[in-house]
A and B are shown apart, each in its own frame.
Chain A
Amino acid sequence: MTPRPDRPADPRRHLPLKPVDLELLLSLADGDLHGYGLVQAIAARTDGLVVLDPGNLYRVIKRLLADGLVDEAGQREAPDAAGERRRYYRITPLGGRVLAAELDRLRRLVGAPATRAVSRRWTS
């Protein structure tokens, strides 16, 4: 099952994404971010429902790095961290394709007739 280097890896291998992976990839899709930038972006998008602590944030980053979905983008001065240098991360082309595939999957899930019925029945 090892992906062959001459062919792009199949994004479907990584599906479905864990919610936190999805949030992280989505945040990076808008542009490169450093650690606390990611925490903020995710917290903002989830209305404060998900506030990652450093430990779990980097466990996720470690896994996404290992899977080749994100990559390091070097150290830069961070304007939102008092100008101190921070390591930035960016989404890889594979990561982008996985993200697109996942969003597609979710869109189909949400659009399915059964899902719509549930939604109609339980949302007030």
Chain B
Amino acid sequence: MTPRVPRAFAWLLRLFPREFREAFGADMAAVFVDHRRAVRARAGLPGVVWLWIRTVPKIAAAAWRERRARASSSSGPSRATGARLPRLLPTGSDLAVALRGCARRPWFSLVTVTAIALGIGAVATVFSAVNAIVLRPLPGTTDGGRLVGIDRRSPDFSEGASTSVALLEHLRARARSLDGMAGWSRVTITVATGGAGVSVDANIVSRDYFDVLGVRPALGRFFAPAEADSSAQVIVVSHAFWATRLGSDPDAVGRTMTVNQRPYRLIGVAPDEFRGVFTPLAVNAWVPLDAQPHLKPERDLTNATWLWTFGRLRAGTSPDVARAELSALTAAWAATADEPAGVRAYTAIRLTPLTGLPDDARRALLGFGAVLFGAALLVLGIAALNVSSLLASQAIARRREMALRAALGGGRWRLVRLLLAETLLLFTAGAAGGLVAAWGATSALERISVPGDVAISLELSPDVRVIAFAFAVALACGLVFGLGPALRGATADPGALLRASSDRAGARRSRLRRALIVGQVACSLMLLTAAGLFARALARGASIDPGFETARVSVAGFNSESWGYDPARGQAFYAELRRRLELAPGVERVAFGTPVPLAATPSATTATIDREGGEGPMKFRALVVLADDAYPETLGLPLLAGRPFTRTAEGGGLEPVLVNQAFARRAWPGAPAVDREVMLGASRARVVGVVRDAAYTALGDDPAPLVYESIARHWRADQILFTRGEPAATAAAIRDVVRSIDPALPVPAVHTLAAETGVALLPQRVAAMATGLMGLIGLALSAVGLYGVIAFDASRRTREIGVRMALGARRGTVLRLVARDGLMLALAGIVIGLAGAAGVTRVMATWLLGVSPLDVPVFAAAAALLGLVALLASYLPARRAAGTDPLRAIRTE
């Protein structure tokens, strides 16, 4: 029987030449296995870990010697094994000496640790945010890695559809690859606990929702398959709601609350860390699907498609297997079920990790995160290069110390280990500092305010994964950037070094340090360019005309359903709201519609245009916006042809619609659009007017085809009120009118359209801020680095400068001599950086709102700023050099 070889050991054996491995590999593995068995029996797991730590470098060294011996075996018998095995890992005493060494050079240590902390901090902050939003499993769940979002998609995955209750039950009953499957939707409800009601963002969920997620209640319980007491509906609230609205009352569970005017019994409180399935949108209550007839009457519990779904993969089942099974089940369902025609084509299933964001948003954020991560890596690169050059200059300054240690019997490996220990110590301290910085930065990010009436809750702080990542990056940097200087510092020949004066040696090292400076300047320039481009995009975004009035239009969202109004009462409410507002002083125009442009994405439909001649019908995607008769005027959208909607639903004939210019151009190029017929989805409509293009989805994009449907015909309970007038006066008027209609209603939040559309520029704002900050850090680091190199060189040339001045060189000459050096380095860095920036800014194009990734003013400004800083960083040491007293300089050794 042969022993099972640990895979890591087998991998390690590959370091040996093949013949050696073939002859002795199995025996070496057997020895290791035997040794491990003995150590385990004697010292347990720690012993085994220690055995690994000791064995790996020894094996690596033996393999290296074997290869070297083989390479030189032609020249004689192999006698190369005599060298002692080097120990690569620093010991405790190495660390103690290193700690003393660092403490002896407090300034050097402080600067180094700060630089590393800045670099690690940048990387850890971005990684932490990306991790929190798109990578880590949902907080508060159990075994979250097995949770998957289940999206119903078209066969080519390009479009998605929601799921109906009937399909959810169909899949849940049959899927063998899942341990559970739940569905949910959003609903806004009005909750009263005694006094006036408050508007609460809630989720309406299948009863197994919490079970599938594996969330445990902080208080009480979650939904049972069937409630024992059916006299009242039940509700679960968030920890935040319990803390703020219920005063953290431990006896709150069991109490009755009024939800949309009916009694609901509070049965449980969710744990603090659980924030729902789409984490950025705050959720403060959960109600079971059976509450649908009361809370969401326009949906149903059969075939209406209104749910998001997710499931828990059965242990050991791959997502591919589950996807195939669910797709087959969905296709079979679509073929037989009594579904609306529009969704029958959605026969495929896509599984995505359930990480707190809808998949499309997740992908977009991942791309955005990658760009910011790239910027953070540049900061880390600058910091590491900076530290590397600091360490190199330390190595030069400490050559005598090292030579002395070597002369006193410190072996070469001992010295390498000592230097390595110091480096690792500095980098570990830097990582700790970086994590503190990341903590601060992420909590600042969490507080970024987002206008609009959707409450956002972000939790971005670093978790264990981020901490591990930060230390791993720091140690890797320490090895990569610290090993070089350590090896060079320890290889010096003691005799030569002790004899040499500090003056002559190290020209080669200085060249390396110069290369490091050039690298830093180049990285800084790339960062500054990115920051400049984002800032310019932000400025351009603010000045882009969205096509509608934003400053004098106020927006307020209503949802009559969430107050328990039936559609008739809801319609009456909206009519009364309009009537009273039109009479209110300061309010010039009143309109209803949905959604808010640029703040929420409109729904879409397929437009089909019949064409004359032999051509088949033309199909394209069109956005759908609901509007009323006063909408174009209120938002300042000029009607270019035809007429607006009428106030009431126009009976008889085809449905009237308005289209934008892009739609008209696409459908009937060069011909009038008014009075044309068009198929929208499955229903026929007639174009009654053409409206000027406006930005609905993103600023700066070419306008997409868009159709306005009449909200009078497609009445819905949630509507957006648009009013034109002086914002403060209008907001007050809206609040007064709502209170006068029904004092029990929650007071609506009123924002200007300008504030709401500000969301559209959030990526640019965050990116400009982040890259700007990182650019400044990079600039400061490379300025310090440049200053350090120039000052160091100048001080080594003190004697030469003294001689020159004694021979009659003037102050200006010396200034030029020293400063030119720094400027040449900066120039080289700037040239390389410009080329690098030109190569990579392309990836930012999506977020630049039409600003060219090669925008000349931005590149020029970044280069000029860096040049200026470099000039200053070189001038200061040059001035000091020029102030040298020739006599004293010549006398110094």
Residue positions of A touching B, CB distance < 8 A? 18, 34-36, 39-40, 53-63, 80-87
Chain A hits for B33, CB < 8 A? 81
Contacting pair A62 B23 (CB below 8 A): yes
Contacting pair B27 A58 (CB below 8 A): yes
* B407 within 8 A of partner (CB): no
Q: What are 11 inter-chain pairs, A to B, with CB distance below 8 A?
A: A36-B38, A53-B59, A55-B16, A55-B58, A55-B59, A55-B66, A57-B31, A59-B66, A62-B20, A82-B37, A85-B2
Cα of A8 to Cα of B143 in the assembled complex, Å: 72
CB distance from A69 to the nearest CB of B (A): 13
Contacting pair A35 B78 (CB below 8 A): no
Cα of A77 to Cα of B94 in the assembled complex, Å: 44
* B803 within 8 A of partner (CB): no
Contacting pair B35 A39 (CB below 8 A): yes
Cα of A83 to Cα of B85 in the assembled complex, Å: 32
Cβ-Cβ contact count across A and B, 8 Å cutoff: 78
Contacts A55-B59, A81-B34 given; does A35 touch B28 at CB 8 Å: yes
Chain B hits for A56, CB < 8 A? 58, 62, 81, 85
Contacts A36-B30, A59-B81, A62-B24 given; does A53 touch B62 at CB 8 Å: yes
Cα of A60 to Cα of B80 in the assembled complex, Å: 11
Chain B 82-124, CB-CB to A under 8 Å as 1, else 0, gives: 1001000000000000000000000000000000000000000
Cα of A87 to Cα of B25 in the assembled complex, Å: 12
Cα of A63 to Cα of B66 in the assembled complex, Å: 11
Chain B hits for A87, CB < 8 A? 27, 30
CB distance from A73 to the nearest CB of B (A): 13
Q: Which residue of A lies closest to B65 (CB)?
A: A59
CB-based closest 5 A-B pairs:
A55-B62, A36-B34, A54-B28, A35-B31, A53-B58
* B1 within 8 A of partner (CB): yes
Cα of A40 to Cα of B35 in the assembled complex, Å: 9
Query: Among residues 494 to 551 in chain B, which have CB atoms less than 8 Å away from a CB atom of chain A?
Result: none
Q: DSSP majority for the B interface?
A: helix
CB distance from B93 to the nearest CB of A (A): 19
Contacting pair A63 B81 (CB below 8 A): yes
B24, B33, B38: most-surrounded residue (chain A CB, <10 A): B24
Cα of A62 to Cα of B70 in the assembled complex, Å: 12
CB distance from B27 to the nearest CB of A (A): 5
Known: A54-B31, A81-B3. 6 other contacts (CB 8 A): A35-B31, A55-B62, A55-B63, A62-B24, A84-B3, A86-B30
Contacts A53-B59, A58-B27 given; does A35 touch B1 at CB 8 Å: no
* B54 within 8 A of partner (CB): yes
One of A36, A82, A85 near B31 (C-beta < 8 A): A36
Contacting pair B81 A60 (CB below 8 A): yes
* B29 within 8 A of partner (CB): yes
Contacting pair B2 A58 (CB below 8 A): no
A53, A85, A86: most-surrounded residue (chain B CB, <10 A): A53
CB distance from B662 to the nearest CB of A (A): 71
One of A18, A53, A63, A85 near B1 (C-beta < 8 A): A85
One of A36, A54, A63 near B78 (C-beta < 8 A): A63
* B32 within 8 A of partner (CB): yes
Contacting pair A61 B24 (CB below 8 A): yes
Cα of A40 to Cα of B38 in the assembled complex, Å: 10
Cα of A7 to Cα of B61 in the assembled complex, Å: 39
Contacting pair A39 B3 (CB below 8 A): no
Query: Among residues 14 to 67 in chain B, which have CB atoms less than 8 Å away from a CB atom of chain A?
Result: 16, 20, 23-24, 27-35, 37-38, 54-55, 58-59, 61-63, 65-66
Contacting pair B62 A84 (CB below 8 A): no
Cα of A29 to Cα of B34 in the assembled complex, Å: 22
One of B27, B55, B61 near A35 (C-beta < 8 A): B27
One of B1, B31, B54 near A39 (C-beta < 8 A): B31
Chain B hits for A54, CB < 8 A? 27-29, 31-32, 35, 55, 59
Chain A hits for B55, CB < 8 A? 53-54
Chain B hits for A63, CB < 8 A? 78, 81
CB distance from A67 to the nearest CB of B (A): 9
A53, A54, A57, A86: most-surrounded residue (chain B CB, <10 A): A54
Contacting pair A36 B35 (CB below 8 A): yes
Cα of A100 to Cα of B27 in the assembled complex, Å: 28
Cα of A99 to Cα of B713 in the assembled complex, Å: 106
Cα of A55 to Cα of B67 in the assembled complex, Å: 12
Q: Which residue of B lies closest to A53 (CB)?
A: B58
Q: Which residue of A lies closest to B12 (CB)?
A: A55
Cα of A55 to Cα of B85 in the assembled complex, Å: 11
Contacting pair B2 A84 (CB below 8 A): yes
Cα of A56 to Cα of B85 in the assembled complex, Å: 9
Contacting pair A18 B59 (CB below 8 A): no
Chain A hits for B23, CB < 8 A? 62
